[in-house]
A and B are shown apart, each in its own frame.
Chain A
Amino acid sequence: MEPSILSGAGSGSRETMHRIRRVFVESLHLNLPEENFSYEDQLDETVGLDSVAVIEFITALEQEFGMTFEPEMLTIELVRSIQDLAAYVDSRTVRASGLLNERRDF
């Protein structure tokens, strides 16, 4: 999937967005309230200082949601917007749980 497709992916669920914000704060050791900050601004600031921070965040998200990002999706565009990121995470986790259900049925 190309990153540009993400822009039309729609919003992820509120719960996913909440979890992403929590992982963002925890994995990057930010001293911020979980709800009351601009994710996009904070991301720009953090990544502007250190691009390694993104992979810390990505790997923490993978642990949190029990999924792996596809290699071709690993660009800064993926995490630029929390709505797009949540939509992507939801699509991946739904797909993973769908596969699990199919296996159970089988």
Chain B
Amino acid sequence: MAGPEATLAPQPVSDVDPKPLAELPLFTLHDLLWLFYLYPLRLLAAILPRWCLYAIGKLSDPIIQFQARHRKASAALWIARVCDTTPALAERIARRSLSNKAVRYLDQLVLLRPSAAKMLRCTSIDGIQHLESALALGRGVILLAGHFCANRVAVRYLASHGHPVLSVHNRRPSNKCEGRLGRQFLQPRSIRLQSLAFPDHVYIQDPNCSLSILQRLRAGGLAVIHADGRGRTKVVEHLFLGRPWPVPAGIFEIVRLSGCAVVPMLCLGRSDGFRIRFDPMLDLDRAPSRDAFLSANLPCFLSAVERQIIQNPEEWILWNHQF
């Protein structure tokens, strides 16, 4: 759980890629998996039924698990510590988390179909009254989420049911498993694909990012922000799931300056059966200054997401990420 202390002065962190291109291998197994995803699988996904797509995902699972074997081993140690489970169960959670991450990418292909909205099957929405009462305040709502596998399908589902949600994405996600093929050729294509699947988005690297969020909030709308995203430019170091975590400080400034409500959202499952849960809106301390607001509300933001992760560890996709 989050520790009590936070380094409150936002610390600039380098936004450059960790390794120069020349030091990367020409391609990696990860790159080959991405190549398969972005070309043959993407083309097949336009015509194959969804169950067939999931079956291909299942067949590829052993390769995905093998490719991430080292990361999975360290993830299991982390999971065992945070979730207080046996090593065997932690290992299973790490494996399932990885499979769920792959399902998330398969669902992205589903979202590219013209009939995507009809294909999304939401089994339940709990706590919609929390969202509605937050929206009724008229100052916009930030949906506070963790990196769960069903977030994207849920956001598209909400948009098709009268609640368009602005998503915030990273145009240069860090990836230590990629080679030159991945960084130079595949990553830009992957980002383009993501843009097609999620038309209502903004990149954190855009100068317009915060203004787009503010614009949406002032119009009384919704924006989803991942509290567990690792910030790059202005961060506040805080313990998250027992690790020092560079939390993006900008989220707190947007909430403070816009006066919006913050509602934790949890999305679980996959496109053929997912559920959404809205928790009661966070009781924020509306401290006037930036530092006071940050110190008063940071623990509450992070613990809301930590609780969701500990209750649903298999669905959180960052356990195996190599930071």
Instruction: Report if A56-B233 is in contact (Cβ < 8 Å); known contacts: A51-B210, A51-B211.
Output: no
- Binary CB contact string for chain B from 207 to 225 against chain A (1 if under 8 A, 0 otherwise): 1111110110011000000
Quick check: A49 and B215 within 8 Å, CB to CB? Answer: no
Q: A48-B207, A50-B234, A75-B208 known; A55 and B253 CB under 8 Å?
A: yes
Are B207 and A52 closer than 8 Å at their CB atoms? no
Q: How far is the CB of B134 from chain A (nearest CB, A)?
A: 18
- Number of residues of chain A lying within 8 A (CB) of chain B: 16
* Contact of A89 with B by CB under 8 A: no
Interface residues of A in 40-57 (CB under 8 A from B): 47-52, 54-56
The distance from the CB of A87 to the nearest CB of chain B, in whole angstroms, is: 19
Q: Smallest CB–CB gap between B301 and chain A, Å?
A: 16
Q: Name the A residues within 8 Å of B208 (CB-CB).
A: 51, 75-76
**Size band of the interface chain B makes with A:** 20 to 34
Instruction: Report Cα–Cα, A86/B211, bound state, in Å.
Output: 18
Which of A48, A52, A71, A72 contacts B254 (CB under 8 A)? A52
CA distance A76 to B209 in the complex (A): 9
A54 to B162, CA, bound (A): 29
- Do A49 and B12 form a contact, CB below 8 Å, given A55-B210, A72-B215, A74-B218? yes
A56 to B250: give the CA distance in the assembly, Å. 10
B40 to A: closest C-beta gap in Å: 37
Q: Which of B211, B214, B254 has the most CB of A within 10 A?
A: B211
Rounded to whole angstroms, the CA-CA distance of A72 and B218 in the bound complex is 9
- With CB as the reference atom, state the residue of chain A lying closest to B15: A49
CB-CB under 8 A from A51, the residues of chain B are 204, 206-211, 250
Asked if B257 and A54 make an inter-chain contact with CB atoms under 8 angstroms apart, the answer reads: no
Contacts of B12 in A (CB 8 A): 49
Say yes or no for A85: interface residue by CB 8 A criterion: no
| Contact surface of A with B, Cβ cutoff 8 Å | 47-52, 54-56, 58-59, 71-72, 74-76
